[in-house]
Amino acid sequence: MNLPRLGMLIVLVLATACGTAAEPPASAPAGAGGKLKIALSNSFIGNQWRVEMENVFKAACAMPPYKDQVECSVFNAGNDVSTQSRQISNLISQGVDGIVINAASTSGLNGVVQQACDRGITVVSFDNTVDHPCGITVNTDQVKFGQQLAQFIVDELGGSGNVVMVTGVAGTGADNDRNKGAKEVFAANPGIKVVAEYSGMWDSATAQRVTAAQLPSLPDVDGVWVSGGTDGVIKAFADAKREMPVFGGEAENGFRKYMAGTLTPQVKGMSIGQPPYLSVVALELARAVIKKEREKGNLTIPFPVVTGSALTPGETVFPDLPDSFFADFTDSGPNAILVLCQQAATDGTPCPGATLSVKLGTP
């Protein structure tokens, strides 16, 4: 009984003794002679969006100019705050120049982010951002997401009708903000009646199941506001042979197929997405800040918005990709922040022959 315990103690004491001698470098040498080391610390990889987000990050790292300037690494934490916190501590020990984070908790990484900042490491968080002020954040405005989709529905319905809200995962900042934005708009239009509000957990299968369960008890529905899992909600309406309401939803490829008429019945809708390329924008911001090409400062990028029925295959809708795919892994239009090819999102391989240019806009 005592021997292993003694051993444990010795290891601990030894460890602390050697410890005081070796400290991680106080400030990382910013690209001295070599490539910058930038790591992506992602909270979990359990859904399509996260896979695309990591794939476009890997693809960007393998494309010029990043190929020659940045040495990238990627870590996943299984949605566990303490695991992610450990990984970031280890990145600090490795002496990376920058850490790009999609956090398991908005607040749970504050302690370790502070430690990274203290050592001169540039921390950029995106999507699920870290709220510690020493880090930089890149995100979209989630309140606006809710407002914009709700306003579209209100306009389409001429200001009156029954609306259903399918929300996301409760307790997350994004869900809270999206719902808040939508409710503001619906409340400002007395003709709009929210007849049901339930969570689709940002998942098409769950959204379909819950919607199918709710539909029999619902009156005529004129508009549906979906925070995520839009194609699932449409399928539930189609299965129940209900008349197709107006949809304001996320950027699922399946939803866009319904909008384009590739899947029937064609639906009228507006599709706004949280773009997976946020990881690439965060990478560019980290690079620019480390290279002192840009001041430290938070960045809000506009949503890629698609509406109407004129969708471009290969750009805003992808007929040969699954419904669950997020079609907004690349921006489109003349003011595109960046343009990526299909294989960057599906396989994480670089777009052949292309040089990536990420337009951050003026700070």
Partner 1 sequence: MRDLQDRLGYLVLAATALAYFAVYTTSLGRPPGSFDYLAILNTTMPLVLVALGQSLVVLTGGIDLSVGGVVSLCVAITAATGGAPGWIVAVVLLGALCGLVNGLVVAYGRIAPILTTLATLSVYTGAALWVLPVPGGSIVPEVRAVLSNPNVPTGLGWLALAVAGWWVLRRTRFGLRVYAVGSDETAARAVGVPVERVKATVYALSGLCSAAAAVFYVATTTAGDANAGAPFILTSIASVVVGGVAFTGGRGSAMGAVAGAVALTLVIDVLFFAGIDPLYQSLFQGLFLVVAVLLGTGAALLARRRAA
Structure tokens at 347: 């396989």
In sign, the C-alpha dihedral spanning 144, 136, 276, 196 is: negative
When the beta carbons of 102 and 189 are compared against partner 1, the nearer one is 102
In sequence order, what E strands does the chain have?
Answer: 36-42, 70-76, 98-102, 122-126, 136-139, 161-167, 192-199, 223-226, 246-249, 269-272, 299-300, 305-307
Rounded Cα distance between 229 and 273, Å, is 11
Closest approach of Cβ 121 to partner 1, in Å? 13
Local structure of residue 190 (DSSP, 8 states): T
Q: How far is the CB of 283 from partner 1 (least distance, A)?
A: 16
Q: Which is nearer to partner 1, 128 or 271 (CB)?
A: 128
Written in H, E and C, the secondary structure of 112-172 is HHHHHHHCCCEEEEECCCCCCCCCEEEECCHHHHHHHHHHHHHHHCCCCEEEEEEECCCCC
Q: How far is the CB of 194 from partner 1 (least distance, A)?
A: 19
The total of other beta-carbon atoms located within 10 Å of residue 279's CB is 27
Instruction: Indicate the residue among 23 and 295 with the shorter CB distance to partner 1.
Output: 23
* Least separation in angstroms between CB 213 and partner 1: 19
Q: The sheet that has 36-42: what strands, in order across it?
A: 70-76, 36-42, 98-102, 122-126, 136-139, 299-300
Q: What's the first-to-final CA gap in the chain, in angstroms?
A: 62
- The residue (of 50 and 294) whose beta carbon lies closer to partner 1 is 50
Both structure tokens of 351: 């777009």
CA atoms 82, 280, 146, 247: torsion sign = negative
- Token pair 């969708």 is found at 311
Residues 92 and 99: their CA atoms lie apart, in Å, by: 9
Residues that bind partner 1 in the complex, under the rule CB under 8 A: 1, 4-5, 7-8, 11, 15-16, 18-24, 42, 45, 74-76, 78-83, 85-87, 89-90, 92-94, 105-112, 114-115, 131-132, 170-173, 176
76 vs 230, beta carbon nearer partner 1? 76
Give whichever of 19 and 219 is closer to partner 1, judged by the CB atom.
Answer: 19
> Is the Cβ of residue 145 or residue 255 nearer to partner 1 in the bound state?
145
Is-contact 237 245, C-beta < 8 A? yes
Shortest Cβ 176–partner 1 spacing (Å)? 5
- Kindly state the smallest distance separating residue 170's Cβ from partner 1, in Å: 6
**Rounded to 5°, angle at Cα 287 from 283 and 292:** 150
To partner 1, the closest distance from the beta carbon of 50 in angstroms equals: 11
Rounded distance, CA 147 to CA 228, Å? Answer: 15
Instruction: Output the smallest distance, CB 276 to partner 1, in A.
Output: 17
With respect to partner 1, which residue has the nearer C-beta, 93 or 355? 93
Considering beta carbons, is residue 174 or 317 the nearer one to partner 1?
A: 174
Q: What are phi and psi of 317, to 5 degrees?
A: -140, 145
- The least distance separating partner 1 from the CB of residue 15, rounded to whole angstroms, comes to 6
